[in-house]
Structure 1
Amino acid sequence: MVCLVMNYSGITQVEIHRESAVTGTLQIILKMGNVTSDSALVHLSFANQVACEDNGPYHCIVTGEWVSNATLRLDILRKPSKPSLTLSRDIVEDKENRDDLPFICQGDVGFPAGNLVLDSNFTSNFYPNTTNYTTISEETCRAYQTVTFYYAFSRDWHGKEIRCSAVNNQSLRQNEIPPFDKQLVEVVPASYCPNLERGQYYHPYNCKNYIDCVGGKVYVGVCPSNLCFGVYETSQCNYCTNTTCVTDIVDRVCNGLNATLVHYTSRRCSMYVNCTERLVRDCPQNKCFDVLNKKCPSWTPFIPELNCSVTEYGIGSNATILCVVGDIRISSVRATVRPIIGGEISLFYVTGVLQPGVLNTSSTATLTLSGTGPNQTLSLEIHRILCSQIGQYIINVNSNISGVINLTAMADVPVITVPNITNENGTLEIRCRGHVGTPAKQIFLEVQFYGSSTFQTLSAESKTNTISNDCNIDRETVFTIFATSYWNSSTIRCSVKSDNNNILSSEQRVIIVVKSTVTFEPSKRESYIGDNDFSMTCKVSSHQDLRRVEIYFESSSLGTKEIIATVEPQSNVIYMEGIILSQAAVMKDNANVTVRFIYNLTCNDDGIYHCKAVGAANFTSSITLTMSSEPEAPTLNLSPWIEENKTTFADRMFRCAGMVGRPEGLMFVEANISGSFQRYDFPSVINNTQFNCNTNQIYQFYYTFNMSWHGRDIRCAVQNAKTNKTIKSQSKTIEVVSENYCVGKGAFYPHPYECTKYIGCKDDKISAINLCGPSLCFGINQTTACTYCNNQDKDLTCLPGARNY
């Protein structure tokens, strides 16, 4: 880092301060004194590698005839590390994994925090249900993220891979591949259990796991540590050294065989290998496998679901659902629908159907059987689809064969809105909107970074607004990204997944990131209330298509914003009263505007001043102006009742009052009880009121004085909050009346020190210390009453020791 100081009169010292981003404290890390020139050039280099503690603002503070500073922020970036991906053991065809067995991707996502992104080599639109948790430590510049996710895999996923990548657009360089971990997906078919009794069976891919068949459904269990399932004489977990994994059995028995059931020789005669499915199975009811006929006795092949598909359709048009039946003698056909809203509705139930043809017709649907032998198909045509007919359609044949298809409202191609040009290191908002169908699909953002040949899904901060409009659900998602130079010339598009898993993408837009320099000098400024000559300068350079410069003010006290000056080319200036522009030059790409205030500044001028350069993109620089005022010398009023060993009455307290300045100074009391004035923290009550941008403070205090205080001086003081200088009131003397003054006395007696007061005595104790009225004294001509002091004869004085205040 370099700090350059030029044309600075009377430089005496240059300091570099580092402000901790964690604790907010300042630390001097470089200091140059005895600088005699009016310029200085200070280089700050890091001898060691930069660390997290180096993150934060650095201040170059120059001391001379005045003090000024410049600030530069150092942002520490750290690349992400390779994450770890742990697959759930509960991967069964078309079944979402259990809540207690999630997929987990976790790892260090760099600093500032990036994101963990999931994708697959099977489909680029892998969007499982995810839960994210991110821990960020500012002290160590680390961000750790854990993503748990759930998914229902079809059989087509078997043998594909899932990848978890740590993506950080700020810390990774352009074209740098984010670190990743990938795992192989192995899907247990849902057809594994339907013809097996309840019990535990071999897992087809992992000998550490086993299949638990319950009611024909597949559940995955896991053996304890160091144990494997597959000791062929028993169906239980045992030490791995005593068994062979199931995958080894399949490879050895099925070598060179296809579509074959093969008996596996062991003491369990029920066991066989299905080389088509590459699964180890047992015959139902523990019956021995028929080696000659290569089947289980009384074995009924598993009947698959109907293979159904649907033609393209839309709301108001017709849709045709086609289901391949095959060479099956049909005795009954049922067609039902489960709408998204509402219960199940029966469309048809037809029995005794033997020949192809129309089975039944209605005004809403037609069910037709066509073809013969292995080519039989059922077609269900839905007429003029309504929103109420959107849902799940089920075709049942012979009560035990079924096919399911979903009719949904189709999503449309989304529309993208993005600024033509954006600011470097600024916030870029990208809006994606469109019909997302029913059920509603998620809109996502894809980016093709400059130099890359592929689009990738972008992990960005987003906010979605959904509006239901009958079947067509409208959704607008706003994606927010931090536009670094890395984004320049990148191509983006909005996308949504259709019901057939195709991707519908908007038109492509290219992001143009521009860099401009706008400086508003000085970056921070202080001025005193009442100043009438204050100026600040805004400089603009390299700003594409510069159209105008706006100076506007954001008041810290009123909470308002207002434009105070607008400068356009040809010096077309609009400004407020009391403000002049000593320079007003706007050229094609550059500008230099100095704003000078000629009225007396008040605290209402305290706030933030912005200089905004308006062009192809907008850039803003700001100044914070803080208005100050000096405190005034306070006044001190003593309590009229100061008695030995008696606490001051609450309604007759000592009182300091005065203006404590802006920012608010500190008022306190000093006394010379020890020979020199020192600060005393008496019990006190403080009341503040605002007056003309200043704080009027009343500091009232009370105390129990003994006779050692008699004759000591006391005064009020105010410490300036900015300079720490102290302003003091005039000193006054504490005069303590002895608690024995009234011994042997009654009624009223003169005050021993002040003739403007008198003392009431009762039962040898002081019952009151009172003031006479204005211009009155007590004890004139030996009277026991207050009389006018100016009526005394010139030879008469107050009682010995007393004085007239």
Structure 2
Amino acid sequence: MVCLVMNFSGITQVEIHRESAVTGTLQIIARITPDNINISTSRIKLKTGNVTSNSALVHLSFANQVACEDSGPYHCIVTGEWVSNATLRLDILRKPSKPSLTLSRDIVEDNENRDDLPFICQGDVGFPAGNLVLDSNFTSNFYPNTTNNITISEETCRAYQKVTFYYAFSRDWHGKEIRCSAVNNQSLRQDEIPPFDKQLVEVVPASYCPNLERGQYYHPYNCTNFIDCVGGKVYVGVCPSNLCFGVYETSQCNYCTLTTCNTDIVDRVCNGSDAELVPYTSSRCSMYVNCTERLVRDCPQNECFDVLKKKCPSWFPFIPELNCSVTEYGIGSSATILCAVGDVRISSVIATVRPSNGGEIILFYVTGVLQPGVLNTSHTAKLTLSGTGPNQTLSLEIHRILCNQTGQYIINVNSNISGVINLTAMADVPVITVPNITNENGTLEIRCRGHVGTPAKQIFLEVQFYGNSTFQALPAENKTNTISNDCNNERETVFTIFAMSYWNNGTVRCSVRNDDNNILSSEQRMIIVVKSSVTFEPSKREAYIGDNDLSMTCKVSSHQNLRRVEIYFESSSLGTKEIIATVEPQLNVTYMKGIALSQAVFMKDNANVTIVFTYNLTCNDDGIYHCKAVGAANFTSSITLTMSSEPEAPTLTLSPWIEENKTTFADRMFRCAGMVGRPEGLMLVEANISGSFQRYDFPSVINNAQVNCTINQSYQFYYTFNMSWHGRDIRCAVKNARNNQTKWSLPKTIEVVSENYCVGKRNNPFYPHPFECTKLIGCNQDKISAINLCGPGLCFGVNQTTACTYCNNQNKDLICLPGARNY
């Protein structure tokens, strides 16, 4: 941390105060006066501490790694003829670490988990404290009932949060994931992914118990749990620690070490089997596992699973796919998807949509012994089973199709019978927009607009050149802009064409391809190309500030129905756009102040107009000038005018205090100053330390100010000189940004006062400077305490005095003029 004070009168001390954001305490950690330095804490060390009567430079750094208590505001308070301060705030950040997510062991379809078996997300959320966020890959609207607490450790800048939550999962959640993320916007970069932990949700179906007697049964997914069936309802039981349920086919908890019980039952049952369907447990022969879907299921009517054939009894038919059709579809209308099921005993139906914009959504999931009638309904769709025997039909009615409802619909019966159909939105006939007349060798913009359907179809431009009998598609690279709005993908595509003579009398149309690859085409429009020419020529494309002889000439030829010529200006500095001259065939002329009409000749469809700037040009005249010919069509020619100015030779001012191994004071720096021109030139410093002048990059401070359309630059620099610099010259230089020509200041010699100058000298107020009689040196305890300048026209030590007096009072042996060396 650096506190820099300049041009402050009568400084007596500089104090650095720390206001801890953690403990809320205020502490003075450093006090520096011209005679004393006091650091009150071991956590801070002083790198630089210079304080004079009117300037100060205090540079502090931390002795060790920063800690939590180091955060908060730091104040630099300066005391002198008045009191002033500046504040710097330091924030200590810590990234969050990966949280841990523990799922409840009580996850039953449509039942909220028990209070004693909650879901838990916990972990370090960083500092300043972030928060834990819960989400899933099933729905973005995952907002469980939560209770949470957060603990902040001030010593380690660490915040620890624990979130306990409860939720009632539907069967649709099975196989989905929950994620717990630690989010801290203060300590993560924008491109960093928050640390997270995710777990798989496995939902015990509510239909597990209705056909079972009261008792305890295997948990379908976790052998350390069990299912307690009471009155047809499902309750989850938990074995004590290190115990598993059903060891050796017993209906009780026993030591897990006595069996190869995997925590995940599905993994245990399916491991090593290449079959899709495998038996679940011998204690209930109707149960089997679908290893592909990771689901535990029952054969209908509690029939035993056929171990040899790896399926339920043979009366359960297998049909590879459903025969589905759609009766009506279109954005804003309703659609009904009909699927012929046949003579199948239906135990489950899943209706899924894969929208054309990506993802997958389960509309309905129905299980059990299904009878004809409405199986399920929502505000957007209804699922119905009708008919019996060989004529069963499933119908999925979608109410008023929206954008995100177009796509692929999948009807799945009994997990192995599927039907697929696509819902799309049709394209419309596009509309074409073409200019009435186009200038030869100019740009021609043709716009195609219309609904291209969902999923989006291709929109393109076709052209039939004069004399040809067929249309051909324009290459796609001519497209310059495409917009897409609303559900039907309304698009506008702009085709930009270089209109050459062979486009004249050609015909164009916009076309869109629909699902059947048929072409929907707009009306046909003819292209009319005229041979018009507009040129705009200035006497100069680059002008200097102060010029007053700039002229511009606009020439128009073969311009059909020419009505007027407009000249307008776009300012690059002011951001304005204005007409500066308008000339009509009857020589009716309007122009702004400072512009005069030098020449205006109008003939039929031709013009020659010249304007002259009658004032001294400024930087505000920098920009783009346009000449626009207005007629049956409007054509424009443009030129860019750049305003320049030459830099001036800079001036160099040396620091009055140049002491061996002493850094230049902030209020007594070296200074290059001058006009660097327009565009802004480069100001630099050159030194002959190696025998010839070369660029030398001193630490510097640069300030710019625009004066009369050019840049007045002040280049202040500082350095720690050793005695090898004594007698070397430095100079300032400015390089012209346009042609790299350089202008230099007069060189000046670096004269370094030895750091041992005061050794052996008494603590007298002042001694003569060894090189400049207009300066004086103060000594204190063998060290240089000051190097000062005498006032204007004054010299030090005239007539052996120890004060500054008029230079013309010296004796004949002392030649001392203001600024001259004393040899």
Query: TM-score, normalising length from structure 1?
Result: 0.47
Query: TM-score, normalising length from structure 2?
Result: 0.46
